[in-house]
Structure 1
């Protein structure tokens, strides 16, 4: 497939957190996918409206209209993970997602969504979210079937149960994890050179002793879980007051100066 206007919607995953980039803070799987698409179409223009912390409803309210105005022919919109960890009514989440996806379907663009990795394997106490995660993944499969979307099944990728695919906070993918997500999207889109083995496990590594794992998990809770819980109790998000990193359709291979010069409204 060849596309000319690619717009990414979403949250921190699509913004690219966990994948540092010296040019402009974060790269991420969507940027990596755009770079691959540009290999076959150097004229591809790309916008990334994702902002960390956004729920499906916030993406609907803040990102949908700007995305439609760009008349994209490719849209990526994996949404809902922040709802899993912050909302209790999954029926409402389905309604919000359906509203977004129904509108995206009507554009006629190719739309890519995903399931979400098995956080019960990577996050201590992740079992608390298992039922809602499974519900969200079932929704994603249903939406993909109902609207003829392209689905990247991250839940079934063994590599994403490996801590090496995750940043130290275990909430965001590492550069390796983002690369594998981009690999999965490339394969789902049928891009030349993509591989069905994008989700294959990494080579085995020596797991730390049980006591060392407990100490590691305790450090993680103090450094990452506690601040997140405090923000949640205060009704705050890392995305409060932030604008999208790439709010306009611009050439994929633009320089950082051009990116900084683009308006940051939205």
Structure 2
């Protein structure tokens, strides 16, 4: 995806070309806000372009996806991203619904002139001078766990499971689990599978969850905010979670994790 003496890796071009077949002309967005874009440089991993923002939709139940589009030929380049939407099925309430949008993609590019967010032909946001920023440093280490470790700790069964976006969950493991209603939530901090309790819950309800929830550890030292967008329902009692955001806060420091997952019983 450059002419001036060098070319970018073909897998980025192929990925963008593949996404061109997706229809992104439909745009139900009423308003949008709080757009951010940055590059993180995860140790020993390929850099990633991250975006986040919020859109107002005319009703709940929309599935929102981000499609990478044109990367221009100037240096540094500008990246275009387009939002695509799947309308809710059946009869839904017509009520303005704020919806979080987040997306992460690997990139060999360490500087963008700008990142543009489109909805149909409408430019929602243009974010200039997107460069690497250091990944936030927490005084604790956030890890992952397996399904066996979760069941051994008394978790599992009905609930919501989340893992980091763009990772192979079978190899990387789970980042978060929360059981039904007031059941415990689980995350790994400093290599210990730790239980958390839910303190707030707002938004659309699904399988004992809400789309925006807050959890704390028993000693109140760590706060975890979980925001998710719901996707398509599965054949069995389940619903996909195409994207979401986990925010971990402790000792005055915060780190965000882009996630995906599912919920069900």
- Name the TM-score class by shorter chain: under 0.3
Indicate the structure whose relative CO is greater, using CA pairs within 8 Å and at least 6 residues apart.
1
Report the structure, 1 or 2, having the larger helix content. Answer: 1
Report the structure, 1 or 2, having the larger strand content. Answer: 2
Give the alignment's TM-score, normalised by structure 1: 0.23
Give the alignment's TM-score, normalised by structure 2: 0.23
